[in-house]
Amino acid sequence: MEFLLAITIGVLYAASFYLLLRRGVVRVVLGVALLSQAVNLLIFTAGGLREGAVPFIAEGGKVLGAASADPLPQALILTAIVISFGVLAFTLAMVHRADQATGTDDVDDLKGTDAT
Amino acid sequence: MNSIILATVSRLLTGLLLVFSVFLLLRGHNLPGGGFSGGLVAASAFVLASFASGFPAARRLLVVPPRVIMGFGLVVALVAGLAGNVAGYPFLTGLWDTTLFPVVGKLGTPLFFDVGVYFAVLGVTTLIVFSLGEDSEEED
Amino acid sequence: MENLPIIILASVFVAAFLAPALHRVLGDRCGLVLSLVPLAGAWVYAEMVPRIMAGQPFVYRHAWVPSLGISLDFRIDGLSLLFLLLISVIGVFVTWYAAGYLAGKKDLGRFYLYLFGFMGSMLGVVSADHLVLLFVFWELTSISSYLLIGYYHNEAKSRAAALQALLVTGAGGLCLLAGVILLGRMAGTFLISELLAMDAAALVAQPGFTTVLILILLGAFTKSAQFPFHFWLPNAMTAPAPVSAYLHSATMVKAGVFLLARLFPLLSASPLWFPIVAPVGAVTMITGVVMALGQNDLKKILAYTTVGVLGTLTMLLGIGTELAVKAAMAYLLAHAIYKAALFMTSGTIDHETGVRDPDLLGGLRRAMPFTAAAALVGGLSMAGVPLLLGFVSKEYFYKALLDAQGAGVLWEVLGVGASVVMVAAAITAGIKPFWGKLLPTPKHAHEAPWTMWLGPVLLGVAGIKTGLFPSYAGAGLVGPAAAAVLGDGGFVADLKLWHGWTTALGLSAVTVLLGLGLYALLPRIRAARGIFGGLARLGPEHGYDNLLSGLLAFARWQTSVLQNGYLRNYILTVVMFTVVLVGWMLPGVVPSPDWDTMVRPHVLTVTVCLLIMAGAIFACLTSSRFTAILALGVVGVGIAMLYFMFSAPDLAMTQVLVETLTLVLFVLAFYRLPVFGNYSKKSVKIRDAILAAVFGTVMAMVVLVEQSSRAADNAVSRFMGENSLALANGRNVVNVILVDFRALDTLGEITVLAIAALGVFAMLRLRPGRGGKEDR
């Protein structure tokens, strides 16, 4: 499974990189979104894969079972998911606004600070 | 985006989602849930309402402006953290009451912190969605 | 009330930050209220004179960054006190003066913010007992002076002068920082009082002390406008008159001299002290007065003579005899008093008549009697006419030069020569505009408001009083200051008006006579102004200009190479650089997959992975925005399912919610827009696809490496797992980490989110030109 996930992550990175290199601004934003997904999945697999072992302390138990999934990467990713949402929202608003101001979606036309 | 069916269903759904979001928030310390997911569910409720009956109606439903909710959340989280200082511990140290409550379990400042997260996330999300949505609508 | 001097220092900064609000409430009168702070300061400092005379310095210590050994250490001795009094008293006058000079200006509040910020920094410089603290205040004076010089920020000349002053003094500040740190390391203490109590000879003998000396001297020389760094000071005359009166005569430019005096016992032990400091001072002195000759602008004349005086002070400290130090302190006091007054009166002339060329001014005394009186006293003191402090200090100056080591006669000739020019400049700036025939001016001349003449008049009174009874100033201020410089507790400077028929007296008389003669020649000298312009162009300012334009050209070049404005080029560079670096190390460390230890693939998980990959690839290939956004949604939900299947329900839930909201945002932002524009050529697309494939492969291998190298036991995670219930009463360890163990991170996160949301709101809903329509 880890091998398959490695390939999946590789494909996600490759796709996001390809999209980031495009000139259409929406594609670039899609690339940003995909990149954060790839990173989150990377951190997740780094924490180790466990099936049916949620990182909760069982009723009656005092400590987290040794077989449980690692809670730390999960906490990190939870934060990352919400932060990427904020970043993406900001990017989208910026692109939306740039489109209103300039009427173009070509990144190359958005180089300057002044509307063309 | 107005349709009668959606508007009717959404009224019910919005209420359900809000109740569910509070449920998620409260049980988050022991089971899946918490401020982040609770806040996002609550925000979804208002997003749904805005799609069904428009942004003005959704704003009315929210009563206070999103910015205020966002600020309220931040302040609650901060105050929950400062409680530690007041008690003579470092910032954000959790303080606990020993009584057990249904659903929530024990009461403590981390729960209030999570409530702050809930409102901050709710405010942030609705502020973003409403800003973007209203701006798009104005162009048409 | 032990710590009154510190309270004063703090309240000056508080006053600075209150100034804009105060200005909004009180308007132009806010200056009068603000001036109460330095006035109180002057009173507190004056009360300290007896105890300082008795040799009891004021000491205050407060831990600041204990882990770095930095504390707020203040120590006020005779030298500090002299400066503190000058800064606070002249500060009061300048505050009043600015209230008149800048009356009605909209941003007067901002001006006072800078001015008081500067005042506080300057008070800090002279009372700090810790080298790092001194440096911090030192830099603050540079920054606040930048803001003050550039006060007329819509004038390009003003901005250029401000930048020049900042760059020159800032570069010197960096040298000073390096020197201070080296010195502190070498001596094992950063406390100035401890440093000065050490065996200077032993410290000086240490290897590397020469570097320390030169670095500290560079800091002092740039700040005090010593040759070849003097050029910024005359250019800084683009500042409003109160700034020139305060910063460029009495206080900031003297910070360098102060530093030299402060560290005198230590640095002067070096054999290099005299051969470096005295000649630099002498050259500066001569440069300043020669350039002053060619100016036809009152402020520039004063500025260049200030350069000359700063050179004189440096030269005296360089000579370093007991008499020279005493003379330096007396000269410093006298100069601060008369030069501040003259800067203010010439500013008044400019303000009331609109003219700064002395040739076009005359006979203003009837129109502005108080200003004329103050300027007369200031001018006479500058010329060194008896019964004024300027005379007394010049006597000591001459005596000290006669007494100097080495070629005393040479020093004397240079000193007298400089003083002769000072006489001519003093007549030009202090007397000429007010006496003789009244010349017509663009604005009808009349007396300025009292705020603008009271300060100079009081300074004049001070000049007369100290000139008539120099022994008080000598015993109370100059003596303790000189004693602090020399590190000799029992020293008392007996300033006297009358020394008998000495050589110095004779030289004074000759100076005044020669000065009168030079003044008569001035018009002819000024006619040859072209020569001075040429001199200035050949001077070090030319080097500064070349350096600056070279630096800018280099910056432009490297920006055009590295930052060409094409987003994809940046991304390409960054990613390919990473690929090369990581790919370089990968061969050999990528393990062959160990199928046994891996989690068994399940039909469902395999399907989900394939879906994710298909979605990602589809997002790249589709030409419809909408399908691309949907494909992104598929990827997101697929990943949420993976989270769910591998024991992360919280992640799965959050991911699904975020995916939904993201989809909504995409639709809201883009639903109006048509299909993708097709910009790239096919060849470019193929190239990018190949590069992306390479990057993807490298990342996949990174995952495999990281899989095989993971530590079996993670102490942090284990701690959290073991203590989640015990310490934080929560069974959901992920949530406990978020709201308890790492709550600070979460607090930071929601703050970032709030900022992002405010950014979105501001960008879309608060823009100008929406007809003022703003929603709730």
Q: What does each C-alpha distance from C310 to C429, C509, C545, C590, C598 come to in angstroms?
A: 18, 23, 24, 69, 78
Other residues' Cβ atoms within 10 Å of the Cβ of residue C104: 7
Centroid of chain to Cα C406: 38
- Asked if residue C722 belongs to a domain, the reply is no
pLDDT at C426 over 60: yes
Residue A60 lies in a domain: no
In a domain, A61, yes or no: no
Note down the domain range covering A89. 2-48+67-106
CA distance C76 to C91: 19
Residue C293 to residue C291: CA distance in whole angstroms: 5
pLDDT 10s digits, C655-671: 999 999 999 998 888 77
**Contact assignment for A56 to B135 by CB distance below 8 Å:** no
SS3 state at B105: strand
| Secondary structure in 3-state letters for C558-573 | HHHHHCCCCHHHHHHH
Q: What is the pLDDT of residue C476?
A: 83
Torsion angles phi and psi, residue A56, rounded to 5: -115, 145
Residue from C199, C175, C174 nearest C186 by CA: C199
* Confidence band of C776 (pLDDT split at 50, 70, 90): very low
Burial of C584 per CB tally in 10 Å (0-12, 13-18, 19+): exposed
Contacts of C197 (CB under 8 A, 6+ apart): none
Beta strands in C314-399 (DSSP E): none
**Rounded Cα gap, residues B83 and B85, in angstroms:** 5
Q: DSSP readout, C720-735? A: HHHHHHHHH--SBHHH
Residue with tokens 């410290």: C203
Of A8, A22, A26, the CB nearest to C613: A8
Task: Give the C-alpha separation, C126 to C213, whole Å.
Answer: 20
**How far is residue A93 from each of residues A86, C220, C749, measured CA to CA in Å?**
11, 51, 20
Predicted confidence (pLDDT) at residue C774 exceeds the cutoff of 50? no
Is residue C753 domain-resident?
A: no
**C266's torsion region: left (phi>0), alpha (psi -120 to 50) or beta?**
alpha
A contact set with B (CB within 8 A): 54, 56, 78, 82, 86, 89, 92-93, 96, 100
CB burial of residue A54 (10 Å; 0-12, 13-18, 19+) = buried
For chain B, the distance separating the N- and C-terminal CA atoms, rounded to the nearest angstrom, is: 13
% of chain C surpassing 90 pLDDT: 37
User: Residue C405: what pLDDT?
Assistant: 65
pLDDT for residue B134 is more than 90: no
C599: which DSSP letter? P
Q: How many Å apart are CA C665 and CA B3, to the nearest integer?
A: 20
Q: Do A96 and B135 touch (CB under 8 A)?
A: yes
Chain A CB within 8 Å of residue C586 CB: no
Which of C532-541, C693-702, C708-717 has the highest average model confidence (pLDDT)? C693-702
- For B45, the domain range is 4-139
Asked if C568 lies within 8 A of A83 by C-beta distance, the reply is no
For range C121-144, the mean pLDDT:
93
List the structure tokens of C677.
């524009």
In a mutational test of the B interface, the residue from C665, C668, C731 whose CB has the highest number of chain B CBs within 10 Å is: C668
Q: What pLDDT, on a 0 to 100 scale, did the predictor assign at position C430?
A: 87
* Secondary structure in 3-state letters for C449-460: CHHHHHHHHHHH
* Contact present, C656 and C640 (Cβ < 8 Å): yes
Decide which of C671, C690, C717 is a domain's last residue: C717
C266 lies in the same domain as C344: no
> Which chain A residues have a beta carbon less than 8 Å from that of B131?
93
- Integer Cα distance of C72 and C662 in angstroms: 51
For residue C444, the 8-state DSSP code is: P
**pLDDT for the residue numbered C769:** 56
Question: Each residue of C753-771: pLDDT tens digit?
Answer: 999 999 999 888 887 655 4
Q: Is the pLDDT of residue C239 over 80?
A: yes
Whether residue C761 and residue B127 make contact (CB cut-off 8 A), yes or no, is yes
pLDDT of residue C673: 64
**Tens of pLDDT, residues C66-115:** 777 678 899 999 899 999 999 999 999 999 999 999 888 888 999 999 99
B32 contacts in C (CB within 8 Å)? 649-650, 653, 732
CA separation for the pair B39, B35 (Å, rounded) = 6
pLDDT, tens only, C582-631: 988 888 777 777 777 777 888 888 999 999 999 999 999 888 888 888 99
Nearest Cα of chain C lies from the Cα of B53 at a distance, in angstroms, of 16
Comparing CA positions, the residue from C343, C351, C315 lying closest to residue C331 is C315
Q: Vertex C83, ends C147 and C261: CA angle to 5°?
A: 100
Contact A96 B139 (CB under 8 A): no
CA-CA-CA-CA dihedral for C653, C655, C660, C663, to nearest 10: 180
Q: How many CB atoms lie within 10 A of CB C225?
A: 29
Per-residue confidence band for C772, with pLDDT thresholds at 50, 70 and 90? very low
Whole-angstrom distance, CA of residue C488 vs CA of residue C623: 86
Residue B140 pLDDT level (bands cut at 50, 70, 90): low
C48, pLDDT greater than 60: yes
pLDDT at residue A116, rounded to an integer? 42
CATH of the domain at A95: 1.10.287
In B, which residues are within 8 Å of A103 by CB distance? none
> Given C271, C296, C326, which residue is the final one in a domain?
C271
Over the range B9-24, which residues count as b (16 or more CB within 10 Å of their CB) and which as e?
Answer: ebeebbeebbebbbeb
Please determine, for residue C432, whether its predicted confidence score (pLDDT) is greater than 70: yes
Q: Dihedral (C-alpha) C452, C454, C459, C462: value to the nearest 10 degrees?
A: 180
pLDDT at site C491: 55
Chain C residues close to B81, C-beta within 8 Å: 743-744, 747
DSSP class of C433: T
The yes-or-no verdict on residue C523 having pLDDT over 60 is yes
Place of tokens 């309402």: B49
- Which residues from A are below 8 Å from C649, CB to CB? 54
Asked if the C-beta of B28 comes within 8 angstroms of chain C's C-beta atoms, the answer is yes
Q: Reduce the DSSP state of residue C73 to 3 states and report it.
A: strand
Between CA B58 and CA B50 the distance in angstroms is 5
Q: What is the token pair recorded at C311? A: 């050179």
Q: What CATH number does the domain containing C629 carry? A: 1.20.120
Contacts of B108 in chain C (CB under 8 A): 728-729
Mark whether C537 and C580 lie in a shared domain.
no
- DSSP class of residue A56 equals B
Question: Is residue C381 domain-shared with residue C462, that is, in the same domain?
Answer: yes
The answer to whether residue A39 is domain-embedded is: yes
Residue A32: exposed, middle, or buried by beta-carbon count in 10 A (0-12, 13-18, 19+)? middle
Q: Work out how many CB contacts closer than 8 A connect B with C.
A: 151
User: Which pair of structure tokens corresponds to residue C175?
Assistant: 């040298």
CA A102 from centre of chain: 28
- C493 and C539: one domain? no
DSSP C469: S
Residues B9-32: tens digit of each pLDDT: 888 888 899 999 999 998 888 888
Asked if C309 and C402 sit in the same domain, the reply is yes
Q: Which domain holds residue C136?
A: 1-271
* CA of C159 vs chain A CAs: smallest distance (Å): 23
| Beta-carbon contacts of residue B101 (< 8 Å; ≥ 6 apart) | B107
Number of compact structural domains in chain B: 1
At B108 the three-state DSSP class reads strand
Q: Which of A87-91, C249-253, C500-504, C722-726 has the lowest mean pLDDT?
A: C500-504
Q: What is the pLDDT of residue C53?
A: 85
Of B113, B114, B131, the CB nearest to C760: B131
Cβ count within 10 A of residue B86 = 9
The minimum CA-CA distance between A5 and chain C, rounded to whole Å, is 7
pLDDT of residue C771: 46
- Touching subunits of A (3+ CB pairs, under 8 Å) are B, C
CB contact under 8 A, C598 and A78: no
Of C24-28, C274-278, C442-446, C622-626, give the lowest mean pLDDT range.
Answer: C442-446
- Integer Cα distance of C226 and C311 in angstroms: 6
Is residue C699 pLDDT above 70, yes or no? Answer: yes
Beta bridge partners of C72: C62
Q: In this predicted structure, what is the pLDDT of residue C95?
A: 94
Residue type, B10: S
Backbone angles phi, psi at C686, to 5 degrees: -65, -40
Same domain membership, residue C469 and residue C608: no
Q: Are C81 and C8 in contact (CB under 8 A)?
A: no
Instruction: Flag the least confident range among A13-27, B125-139, C626-640, C699-713.
Output: C699-713
**Contacts with A81 from chain C: Cβ below 8 Å:** 651, 654-655, 658
Q: In C, residues 661-690, which contact B (CB 8 Å cutoff)?
A: 661, 664-665, 668-669, 671-672
What number is the average pLDDT over the span C160-171?
91
Residue A36 DSSP class = H
Q: Quote the number of domains for chain C.
A: 4
Determine whether the interchain pair C647/A106 forms a contact, defined as Cβ–Cβ distance below 8 Å.
Answer: no
β-bridge pairing B105-108 and B96-101: antiparallel
Amino acid present at C516: L
- Number of domains chain A contains: 1
DSSP for B58-89?
HHHHH-S-HHHHHHHHHHHHHHHHHHHHHTTS
Closest CA–CA distance from residue A39 to any residue of chain C (Å): 10
Contact B139, C672 (CB under 8 A): yes
Which chains have 3+ CB pairs within 8 A of C? A, B
CB contact under 8 A, A10 and C688: no
- Test A22 with C606 for CB contact under 8 angstroms: no
CA nearest neighbour of C346 among C251, C428, C408: C428
Instruction: Tell me whether residues B36 and A100 touch, CB distance under 8 A.
Output: no
Token duo for residue C448: 């300025």
Domain membership flag for residue A113? no
Q: Which residue of B has its CA nearest to C660?
A: B44
Domain membership of residue C730 (yes or no) is no
Count of residues for chain B? 140
Structural domain ending residue among the three candidates C255, C271, C287: C271
Measured between alpha carbons, how far is residue C77 from residues C89, C326, C470, C730 in Å? Answer: 18, 15, 21, 60
| Interchain contact, A51 vs C680, CB within 8 Å | no
> With contacts defined as CB-CB under 8 Å, which chain B residues touch A54?
32
Least confident of A98-107, B51-60, B123-132, C365-374: A98-107
Residues of C in contact with B67 (CB under 8 A): 758, 761, 776
Mean of per-residue pLDDT scores for chain C:
87
